[in-house]
A and B are shown apart, each in its own frame.
Chain A
Amino acid sequence: MGGKFLFDGRPVPFEEGQTILQAARAAGHYIPHLCWHPDFPPHGSCKLCVVKVGGRHVSSCALPARDGMEVESNTPEINGERRALLQMLFVEGNHFCPSCEKSGNCQLQALAYELDMSSARFAHFYPDRPVDASHPDVLLDFNRCIFCELCVRASRDVDHKGVFALTGRGIRKHLVVNAESGRLADTDFAVSDRAADICPVGVILRKRVGFAVPIGERKYDEASISSVAMEKGE
């Protein structure tokens, strides 16, 4: 049984089983997200899709819509929390946009633009995360990993290869490659895998095409991530 809920004061219809985020998108309302992807079940780890329902902060990607809910999303309070989450992601990794070939196509960067983030505010960690250039077709730059597990899920559930995994806990959590050597070249990973083009940031990079589309002409260079997401369904 479906119904209607209020999204920032506007009525949004939903069908039974739809999450808040799915129903809001279907009605043309963008909710920021990083670990959520339209082709995958909700993961609920990045918390960028946080909304306020009945005074509680919940992940809109995971919470089923209910009739009569009042959902606050695009408010100074909630956007402030989202910005703080982005700032923490920026300082925990090494996100140097000027030297990243994903710049302009990166969802982390585009969300920072969307949410008016002008600095990372906190003290930078500068973690030591060596890159893996072993694979002939794909470079792994772990410096930019945000632990969304999209590559883990795509490789496990779509490609049925299980190439990637997260290991460690808390601040020591990091992305690893499922091979004895730990090198991507020693797995059956292929550039045609779903996992090869799922990364929302600049970790999994196709070699030899880095600047085929020049900086300034990329997906989020002129358009905002919210308009791209709503117009192209991405």
Chain B
Amino acid sequence: MSDSMSLPRVRVATTSLAGCFGCHMSFLDMDERLLELAKVVEFDRSPLTDIKHCGPCDIGLIEGGVCNAENVHVLREFRRNCKTLVAVGACAINGGLPAQRNHLDLGDCLQQVYVKRDGIEEGGVPDDPELPLLLDRVHPIHEVVRVDYFIPGCPPSGDAIWKFLTDLIGGRTPRLPHPLLRFD
């Protein structure tokens, strides 16, 4: 049995809030290194496991900004449970593309999309009680909870995520040197 098998595994949770899952796709871009990671990591709540709620974890990876009430609850659940919380990607860090609506009136946005748009005959703003209420502005996650680390990029490359995670799990201060540090 190798050393890595005898060590307790690092528990990692991931989620996408107001994101496009592009950062999760980039996570998968670590390719065969995922097998290396799987030797030392086990996943809690994540699209990879389909676990619905986050339990106590070592690392939480958050993709996407905060655009609705559900995002706030999920983000706070992660912060409560994760020792180290990481903002992954442009949207988690500065709101990104969803935040392009921030200087517009939310009511006008909804009217434009669901009522006034060309081709809509009997429009109406969706009001199913199951739908989470939208916030008037999209927020970066550090405006809602304390965030320990940030991995910029849209999305950050698989190499950047690998460098960050191996630093963190290896007990080093995570640092992304340029050109791994990218905002685009």
Name A residues whose Cβ lies closer than 8 Å to a Cβ of B.
90, 95-100, 103-104, 109, 112-114, 116, 118-121, 123-124, 126-128, 215, 221-222, 224
Contact = CB atoms under 8 A, between A and B. Distances in A.
Contact of B93 (A103, A104, A114, A119): A119
Contacts of B137: 126
Interface in B144-184: 147, 149-152, 154, 175-176, 178-179, 181-184
Interface in B102-158: 102-103, 137, 140, 142-143, 147, 149-152, 154
Contact of A126 (B102, B142, B184): B102
A100 B90 CA distance: 13
A146 B38 CA distance: 45
Contact of B90 (A98, A113, A215, A221): A98
B184 A118 contact: no
Contact of A118 (B140, B143, B149, B179): B149
Contacts of A103: 183-184
Of A100, A109, A124, A222, which is in contact with the most chain B CB atoms at under 10 Å from its CB? Answer: A124
Contact of B100 (A96, A112, A113, A215): A96
B interface residue count range (under 10 / 10 to 19 / 20 to 34 / 35 or more)? 20 to 34
A128 B142 CA distance: 22
Contacts of A100: 184
A112 B179 CA distance: 12
A234 B26 CA distance: 34
A118 B176 contact: yes
A119 B96 contact: no
B90 A119 contact: no
Given A118-B150, A127-B103, A215-B184, A97 B90 contact: yes
Contacts of B151: 118
B94 interface: yes
A210 B179 CA distance: 22
Nearest to B99: A126
Given A96-B99, A97-B184, 10 more contacts: A96-B90, A100-B184, A113-B181, A113-B182, A116-B175, A118-B176, A119-B87, A119-B94, A126-B95, A224-B178
28 contacts: A95-B94, A96-B96, A96-B99, A97-B154, A97-B184, A98-B90, A98-B96, A109-B184, A113-B179, A113-B181, A113-B182, A114-B178, A118-B93, A118-B151, A118-B181, A119-B87, A119-B140, A119-B147, A120-B93, A120-B140, A121-B142, A123-B143, A124-B95, A124-B140, A126-B102, A126-B137, A221-B182, A224-B178
Contacts of B183: 97-98, 103, 109, 112-113
A190 B79 CA distance: 53
A148 to B, nearest CB: 19
Contacts of A90: 94
A124 B178 contact: no
Nearest to B143: A123
A98 B87 contact: no
Nearest to B174: A118
B174 to A, nearest CB: 9
Nearest to B93: A119
B74 interface: no
Contacts of A95: 94
